[in-house]
Structure 1
Amino acid sequence: MFNPSQHDVRRFFCEAYRKHKGNEILTPLEAIARDWIMEHPEYHEALRDVEEALAADYSVERGQTNPFLHLSMHLSITEQISIDQPPGIRGAFQLLAQRRGSEHEAHHEIMECLGEMIWNAQRSGMPPDATVYIDSVRRRAQH
């Protein structure tokens, strides 16, 4: 199982951004990351310098959004949708995106569901519950 460190993740996004700015060839995963990076110009400054990115503190106490966590969640959700795993996420996403009129907005709502599922799993010590996750996304699509 691939388990990148915090620094690996930050280097990956900084490198994808650097390659994009330099018109270099991107790997398929870097191309997906680049697409999400371009959707979030507010993060470009954080991606410009890898050493600053590695040293940055995005702890909850500082009250800042962690651009690397946010972009990583976009990548995770993109992958989930592409392979429909957990089963039903693709359909729930499509319905939510249609209702919101925006795939990006749908991603952000799914992020909230994903974050809640992970938080509940960590709190309870149980594995993440994919059924509760999908149901949460579907409920959002119905409102």
Structure 2
Amino acid sequence: MFNPSRDQVRTFFIESWRKHREREVLTQLEALACQLIEHHPEYHSIIEDPDSVDRDFAPEDGQVNPFLHLSLHLAIEEQLSIDQPPGLRAAFDTLCQRHGDRHAALHDVLECLGETIFNAQRAGSPPDGAAYLSSVCRRASLP
């Protein structure tokens, strides 16, 4: 299993964005990361600052960690590509139709994934795929 460090993840996003801005050749994963970064202009100044690798983003200070947010986006894109957990892609398609916007639907799924990871960390257990899918399905069925 690939388990990069915090600094490796941050460097990946920073370097991918740098390569994109300098029109260098990107891997498929780097290109996907850059597409996600493009959807988040509020993160551009952070991603463009190599010193942000060491920066702390404290939720208690009302800060969103852009690297965590983008990492969750990447995880969801991978999950959707393989429909894991099974049924996720169908629920996501429903969310896309409901929102009329793919990125807004991704943010719904992202909230469910974040909650699932938080619950797993708190319980000291692996993430509950069934609970995750159930959460996404509930959001998809909301009026």
Q: TM-score, normalised by structure 1?
A: 0.95
Q: Deviations over 1:47-76 (max 9, x none)?
A: 1121x1112110223321111011101100
- Report how far residue 127 of structure 1 moved: 2.1
Q: Which residue of 1 aligns with 2:8?
A: 8
> How many correspondences in the alignment?
142
Q: Which residue of 1 aligns with 2:39?
A: 39
For the residues of structure 1 that align with 2:3 and 2:58, how far apart are their CA atoms?
Answer: 21
Unaligned runs of 5+ in 1: none
**Structure 1 outlier segments of 4+, above 4 Å:** none
C-alpha contact (below 8 Å) 2:95/2:140 kept by paired residues: yes
Unaligned runs of 5+ in 2: none
Q: Which residue of 2 aligns with 1:109?
A: 108
Q: Which residue of 2 aligns with 1:74?
A: 73
Q: Which residue of 1 aligns with 2:94?
A: 95
C-alpha contact (below 8 Å) 2:17/2:48 kept by paired residues: yes
Q: Which residue of 2 aligns with 1:19?
A: 19
Moved more, 117-126 or 36-45: 117-126
RMSD: 1.0
Percent identity over paired residues: 56
Q: Which residue of 1 aligns with 2:131?
A: 132
C-alpha contact (below 8 Å) 2:7/2:54 kept by paired residues: no
Q: TM-score, normalised by structure 2?
A: 0.95
Moved more, 119-128 or 29-38: 119-128
